[in-house]
């Protein structure tokens, strides 16, 4: 999404050009090497509408036997880093009631975060992805834990409620175990509702072609989420096997991909031919 970020003015071109990969190669140099560093300016011109077709990267369409996902927008996201500090102590000599076990606190936060996701179904996502405990010794009560938390929801109000519950419950858990708690919100990506006209163009095209379809929210990031800030936008999803993506076993059926391309074309034509 670096390209769409520059195109839409969210990132500066020079900042993105200067980014390096793990081998230290700058993005600008890699673009030149593969012949992609064109002369045209990135962005700065008007776009009538933007449509993007993508595999769902999730299991919903496949599970429901639907061919086309009519994407109505992108979720809002809040990402956090949580640090818990207790007291490192000997696992054999420290009585249960005298422990300040940072991993126990983290464990209860992981369960609580999952519970917040479940109580905001069907659209909410709640995930703890990274955990690091210290000192990582079998017979030592962990004194410190670092944990990442993220929440996603298409509705900012719901997401704010999840945030509030999370902070209150984490404070309660830390207090019960005698842990110091620090929560930093490191990223807040706003909810991105797509254009009603563009969404209708996708839905009507799917109907006209007789494809089974359903409205769906994009859980992942896409260029369309940036483009939606500068142009009427919508997306088309097609099913993928087991919802797996960014992985060698990612797979989508040729018929589904063909259907997605057809609806992409149809929706663009509908939009282009619509009375202004």
Contact positions vs a second copy (CB under 8 A): 56-60, 63, 75, 77, 79, 89-98, 101, 103-104, 106-108, 110-111, 114, 117-118, 121-122, 124-131, 133, 136-142, 148, 150, 152, 218-221, 243-246
Q: How far is CA 125 from CA 116, 198, 247, in A?
A: 9, 26, 21
Q: Which is nearer to a second copy, 150 or 158 (CB)?
A: 150
Q: Which is nearer to a second copy, 106 or 170 (CB)?
A: 106
Q: Which is nearer to a second copy, 9 or 243 (CB)?
A: 243
- Each residue of 132-153: b (16+ CB within 10 Å) or e? ebeeeeeebbbbbbbbebbbbb
208: which residues sit within 8 A by CB, 6+ positions away? 266
Minimum separation from the CB atom of position 160 to a second copy (A) = 18
Minimum separation from the CB atom of position 128 to a second copy (A) = 6
Minimum separation from the CB atom of position 209 to a second copy (A) = 25
Minimum separation from the CB atom of position 270 to a second copy (A) = 27
Is residue 120 within 8 Å of residue 157, measured between CB atoms? no
Q: What is d(CA 197, CA 80) in angstroms, rounded to the nearest whole number?
A: 35
- Report the SS3 class of residue 147: strand
Q: Which is nearer to a second copy, 24 or 92 (CB)?
A: 92
Minimum separation from the CB atom of position 72 to a second copy (A) = 15
How many other C-beta atoms are found inside a 10 Å radius of the C-beta of residue 40? Answer: 7
Minimum separation from the CB atom of position 265 to a second copy (A) = 25
Q: Which is nearer to a second copy, 120 or 213 (CB)?
A: 120
**Helix, strand, coil percent values for the chain (each to nearest 5):** 40, 25, 35
Minimum separation from the CB atom of position 9 to a second copy (A) = 24
Q: Which is nearer to a second copy, 89 or 161 (CB)?
A: 89
Angle between helix 254-273 and 196-209 (nearest 10) = 130
The token pair at 163 is: 């945030």
Q: How far is CA 179 from the centre of its chain?
A: 30
Q: Which is nearer to a second copy, 125 or 167 (CB)?
A: 125
């Amino acid at each position: 999404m670096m390209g769409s970020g520059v195109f839409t003015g969210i990132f500066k071109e020079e900042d993105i050009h200067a980014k390096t990969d793990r081998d230290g190669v700058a993005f600008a140099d890699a673009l030149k090497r593969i012949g992609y560093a064109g002369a045209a300016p990135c962005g700065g011109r008007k776009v009538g509408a933007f449509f993007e077709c993508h595999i769902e990267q999730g299991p919903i369409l496949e599970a429901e036997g639907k061919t086309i996902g009519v994407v109505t927008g992108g979720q809002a996201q809040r990402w956090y880093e949580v640090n818990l500090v207790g007291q490192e102590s000997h696992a054999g000599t420290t009585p249960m009631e005298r422990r300040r076990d940072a991993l126990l606190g983290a464990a209860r936060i992981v369960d609580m975060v999952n519970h917040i996701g479940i109580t905001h179904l069907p659209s909410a996502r709640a995930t703890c992805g990274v955990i690091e405990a210290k000192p990582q010794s079998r017979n030592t009560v962990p004194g410190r834990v670092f944990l990442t938390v993220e929440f996603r929801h298409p509705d900012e109000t719901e997401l704010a409620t999840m945030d509030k519950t999370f902070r209150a419950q984490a404070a309660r858990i830390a207090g019960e175990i005698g842990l110091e708690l620090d929560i930093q919100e490191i990223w807040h990506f706003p909810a991105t509702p797509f254009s009603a006209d563009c969404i209708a163009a996708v839905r009507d095209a799917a109907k006209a072609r007789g494809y089974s379809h359903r409205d769906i929210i994009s859980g992942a990031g896409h260029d369309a989420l940036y483009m939606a800030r500068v142009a009427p936008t919508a997306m088309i999803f097609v099913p993928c096997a087991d919802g797996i993506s960014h992985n060698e076993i990612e797979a989508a059926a040729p018929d589904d991909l063909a259907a997605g391309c057809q609806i992409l074309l149809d929706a663009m034509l509908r939009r282009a031919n619509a009375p202004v």
